[in-house]
Amino acid sequence: MPSHAKITVAGLGPGAPGGITLSVWESLKSSPRILLRTGIHPVVEWLRQERIAFTTFDYIYEAESDFQKVYNRIAAEVLAESQKGEVLYAVPGHPLVAEESVRLIIAMAEKNGINVEILPAVSFLDALFAALRFDPVAGLQIVDGLRLDQKPPLAGLPAVITQVYSRLVASDIKISLLDIYPPEHQVTVVRGAGIPGEEKIETRPLFELDRLSWLDHLTSLYVPALDKTLAGEQAGQPCRYPLDPLVEILARLRGKDGCPWDREQDRRSLRRYLIEETYEVLEAIDEKDTYKICEELGDLLLQIVFNAQIAAENQDFDMNSVVAGISEKMIRRHPHVFGGVNVQDSSEVLVNWEKIKAEERAGDQPASILAGVPKCFPALLKAAKLQEKAAGAGFDWPDYRGALEKVREEMNELEAVIITREPVKIEDELGDVLFSIVNLARLLGVEPEAALTGTSVKFTRRFNHVEKMARLSGRKLFSFSLPELDKWWEDAKKLEKT
């Protein structure tokens, strides 16, 4: 791969020349080779008038049977062109908004050690927000209209559906959305947002979506969120009893003619799956992937219903008991919402919560304040919970300074015992250090589990950069000295700040 290989990816804005940024315009004027994903874009004719020379990949659209093949070929050809020297690849809108070809180019370029520079632009979403007078801060999901079978929108959030480029596609989108929204749900079709003389906006009931004759490649669909009550009635399920179908499915799977694997399970065998699904929910939350969160919560719910079904078979309790019990508890422990108690802030809520819990335990055998912390908690979480319980009883530092000094004290004790080379003592002191750090995190208002997870992700990202640089050097990772590896590590840290 030549050292001069470089790809500049630029956005051409939603369609009007004014959507092109100054940096993109300067690059268009100075770049020796310009490749456009498509010439079917309102700003392209203006580029011709400005004597900007370019070639397009429209011939690939005509040659391939589906869009994924088109994007794969475009990405491969852009990389091939970059081997001859610097190349500017320009796409409609913003290069990182709904641009699959750009995603592929970035991935391929990173694998081959090619530098990619991104020149942002006004996206079609910016123009759409302006046309609809819509502020996305309240929540929004962007959904590919050609992939609704893989990632359908969530009814409780507003959605922008892209790729509504023909009546035929609109018909398919309509059919998919009718599984989620009622036929009369008002949707807004927007064509040519932000393009003077081209912009067209029309609000219609969902069932009329494919009756519009002016849909083209500049068209998107805005779908408002469903009313919360209606959102709970998707696919015909009454929102008051959403667990009934799942309970019935588990009962059948565990029944006489059900699934052999499901019938073999018991509470103990399901423990590992309950733990695994919980961590997968946490991972999805960390990734901020709404669809994945929804899916993983479903998997976790399955484990809860599965356990309740086993209990029902043993005549211990059933899913109704679980829902009724937690519902009653939440009402009882929120007298400031369901009763006449007044609170000033969340700290008073927590005080009342612990007081109510203590009253619930009245008459039981006196137990330690720490007794409520499950023994099977992961060590980091268990340490944090133990400290929270003790702090609730007044056993706590006034602020973080005392905890910070305790960390220093424990570190000194660890250093002293390391000299002895006695593994048991070292382990004991190291545990004290970790416990004191968890306490410091609590007093600083930091969730230690989240902090450590974030650092692990950061370490992985930086180490992956080290591995990539070693691979590009043509040698095995272990053949480099620590100073050489550390230099790449420091380079990775600098890249994160740019």
Name the CATH topology of 126-231: 3.30.950
- Which residues have C-beta within 8 Å of that of residue 317, sequence separation ≥ 6? 308, 311
Instruction: Report which of 250, 361, 231 is spatially closest to residue 304, judged by C-alpha positions.
Output: 250
Across 207-232, average pLDDT: 83
Looking at this protein, which amino acid is placed at residue 92? P
Distance between CA atoms of 224 and 189, rounded to whole angstroms? 12
Express each pLDDT in 361-417 by its tens digit. Answer: 665 555 677 776 777 778 888 888 888 888 877 888 999 999 999 999 999 999 999
Decide: helix, strand or coil at residue 216: coil
First to last CA, the chain: 25
> Average pLDDT for residues 142-158, to the nearest whole number?
86
Q: Is the CATH number 3.40.1010.10 carried by domain 6-122?
A: yes
CB 90 within 8 A of CB 41: no
Is 377-446 a CATH 1.10.287.1080 domain?
Answer: yes
Structure tokens, 185:
């749900």
To the nearest 10°, the Cα dihedral for 284, 290, 295, 297? Answer: 70
Pick the residue with more confidence: 233 or 309?
309
Average pLDDT, rounded, for the chain: 87
For 47-105, how does the pLDDT look when each residue is reduced to its tens digit (9 = 90+)?
Answer: 999 999 999 999 998 898 888 899 999 999 999 999 888 899 999 989 998 889 999 99
Confidence at 359, pLDDT banded by 50, 70, 90: confident
> What would the two tokens of residue 306 be?
């599965």
480: left (phi over 0), alpha (psi -120 to 50) or beta: beta
Tokens 């620590």 sit on residue:
482
- Which option is the CATH number for 243-317: 1.10.287.1080, 1.10.10.60, 1.10.760.10, 3.30.750.24? 1.10.287.1080
- Quote the CA–CA distance of 162 and 160 in Å, as a whole number: 6
Is 136 a residue whose pLDDT tops 90?
Answer: no
pLDDT at 239: 47
The structure tokens 């305790």 sit at 406
Equal fold, 243-317 vs 377-446: yes
Beta bridge partners of 188: 203, 222
- Average pLDDT of the segment spanning 183-198: 90
Q: How many CB atoms lie within 10 A of CB 164?
A: 26
Burial 110-126 (b: 16+ CB within 10 A, else e): eeeebebeebebbbbbb
A 10 A CB-CB count for 55 gives 12
Q: What's the pTM? A: 0.48
Task: Give every CB contact of residue 356 below 8 A, 6+ residues apart in sequence.
Answer: 332, 333, 335
Domain boundaries, the chain: 6-122, 126-231, 243-317, 377-446, 449-497
Candidates 417, 452, 411, 416; CA nearest to 432 is 411
Distances in whole angstroms, Cα of residue 293 to Cα of each of 108, 153, 215, 286? 28, 13, 33, 9
Q: CA torsion sign, 289 to 290 to 295 to 299?
A: positive
- Residues 271-299: what's their mean pLDDT? 88
